[in-house]
Amino acid sequence: MGRKKIKIQPIQDERNKQVTFLKRKHGLMKKAYELSVLCNCEIALLIFNTSGKLVQYASTDIDHILMKYTEYNDPHESKSNQDVRHINKP
């Protein structure tokens, strides 16, 4: 039996929002780790929570990854929430 699909919309209850943030943050970091290991790629993940606190994950030295990012001038793939919303529509 599969999981019930949830509607993606802002969570109003602060406690539920915090619990969801912690669970999904852990899941996102686990996915980033798995992708970096399986595909041998460098990953940097920056998250600012609603109170402005920074959480970061990097598969290697984050300063090295950020330097590569700032020096990269070739065309590249860039996605936003708008793009991802269109991908997930049935």
Q: Is the pLDDT of residue 90 over 80?
A: no
Instruction: Round to whole Å and give the CA distance between 14 and 18.
Output: 6
Kindly write down the DSSP assignment for every residue of the chain, as one continuous string: -PPPPPP-----SHHHHHHHHHHHHHHHHHHHHHHHHHHT---EEEEE-TT--EEEEESS-HHHHHHHHHH--S------HHHHHHHH--
Domain with 34 in it: what CATH number?
Answer: 3.40.1810.10
Domain boundaries, position 39: 14-71
Model confidence pLDDT, tens digit, residues 8-47 = 899 999 999 999 999 999 999 999 999 999 999 999 999 9
Query: Is pLDDT above 70 for 89?
Result: no
Q: How far apart are CA 32 and CA 29, in angstroms?
A: 5
User: Which band of pLDDT confidence, cut at 50, 70 and 90, is reported for residue 6?
Assistant: confident
Give the predicted TM-score (pTM) of the model: 0.80
Q: For 73-84, how does the pLDDT look when each residue is reduced to its tens digit (9 = 90+)?
A: 999 999 898 888
Asked if residue 1 is part of any domain, the answer here is no
Q: What's the confidence (pLDDT) of residue 84?
A: 80
